[in-house]
C-alpha cells in the first residue's frame, strides 16, 4: 500500500559519515600496498574472471584505506549505441568501493550507493577508478569513488558515494543460492580466503 499523502516520506540513508565517525587504521591483515586484490568469487559480475560479460575489475591496494582499478568498457557493456550503460558504470563503482572491505578486513554489503554521471563514456574506453574510505561508524562503512577517462589524471566521468554495512559470512551462506554456496565450500582456495576474512562486527 502506498503511503498516504499526509505521511512524510522516509528520508534516504545518508552516504556521508556522521560527525562522530572515525577513520580507522588499515587492518594488520590487509593486503600489502600494491597487492592485486583479485576476485572474491570467479563468477562475480563485477570481478570474476569466469563471467563472460562481467567487468573483470581487479583492484590494487593503495597505501592507506584506498584502492585503484581499471575497467575497459566492452561491446557487451553498452546502453546507448557505442556508449557504456549507466547501470554498468554504477556496478563498476560498486565493485571498486566493495574492495575497500579487504583493507578493513571486514566483509560488508552495499547499503546505499549514489552515482553522478558527469560525461559520456564510449565503448572501448578505459576507466581509471579510485575508491577510498571516508569514515566508519559502528557497522557502517562510508566511502567515495571516482572514475576518470583517458588516464589516471583525466577528466572525472563518474563519481560515487556509498554506505556499506558489515555482515558475518553467514549472510552469504544463508541467503545465497545453495548450488553456488556448495561450489565455494568445495573450493579450498576460496574457503581459505573466506576464513581469513571472518570477523565479528
Complete edge-to-edge strand list for the sheet that includes strand 126-137: 60-61, 66-72, 126-137, 140-149, 156-166, 108-117
- Whether 72 and 153 map to the same domain: the answer is yes
160 & 184 share domain: no
Task: For residue 12, tell me if it sits in a domain.
Answer: no
Domain span including residue 188: 169-201
- Chain segment 3-62, per-residue pLDDT in tens: 566 778 888 888 999 999 999 999 999 999 999 988 766 777 777 777 788 778 889 999
Q: Say how far apart CA 122 and CA 81 lie, in whole Å.
A: 9
Q: Are residues 112 and 177 in the same domain?
A: no
Query: What confidence tens digit (pLDDT) does each residue in 108-128 have?
Result: 999 999 999 999 999 999 999
pLDDT greater than 60 at residue 188:
no
pTM for the full predicted model: 0.80
The CATH number covering residue 116 comes to 3.10.129.10
Question: Is the pLDDT confidence value at 190 over 70?
Answer: no
Q: Which residues pair with 159 in a beta bridge?
A: 116, 146
Return the bridge partners of 60, or none.
36, 68
Query: Do 189 and 158 lie in a common domain?
Result: no
Number of domains in the chain: 2
Dihedral angle sign, alpha carbons of residues 8, 159, 107, 19: negative
Same domain, 134 and 194: no
Amino acid at each position: 500500500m502506498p503511503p498516504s499523502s499526509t505521511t512524510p516520506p522516509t528520508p534516504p540513508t545518508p552516504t556521508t559519515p556522521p560527525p562522530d565517525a572515525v577513520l580507522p587504521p588499515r587492518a594488520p591483515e590487509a593486503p600489502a600496498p600494491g597487492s592485486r586484490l583479485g576476485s572474491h568469487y570467479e563468477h562475480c559480475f563485477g570481478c570474476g574472471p569466469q563471467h563472460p560479460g562481467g567487468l573483470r575489475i581487479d583492484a590494487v591496494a593503495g597505501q592507506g584505506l584506498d584502492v585503484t582499478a581499471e575497467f575497459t568498457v566492452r561491446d557487451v557493456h553498452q546502453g546507448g549505441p557505442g556508449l557504456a550503460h549507466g547501470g554498468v558504470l554504477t556496478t563498476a563503482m560498486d565493485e571498486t568501493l566493495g574492495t575497500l572491505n579487504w583493507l578493513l578486513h571486514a566483509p560488508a554489503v552495499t547499503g546505499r550507493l549514489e552515482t553522478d554521471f558527469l560525461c559520456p563514456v564510449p565503448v572501448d574506453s578505459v576507466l581509471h577508478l579510485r575508491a577510498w574510505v571516508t569514515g566508519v561508524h559502528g557497522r557502517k562503512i562510508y566511502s567515495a569513488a571516482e572514475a576518470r577517462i583517458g588516464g589516471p589524471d583525466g577528466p572525472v566521468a563518474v563519481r560515487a558515494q556509498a554506505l556499506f554495512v558489515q555482515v558475518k559470512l553467514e549472510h552469504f551462506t544463508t541467503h545465497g543460492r545453495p548450488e553456488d554456496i556448495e561450489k565455494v565450500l568445495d573450493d579450498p582456495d576460496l574457503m581459505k580466503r573466506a576464513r581469513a576474512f571472518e570477523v565479528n562486527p
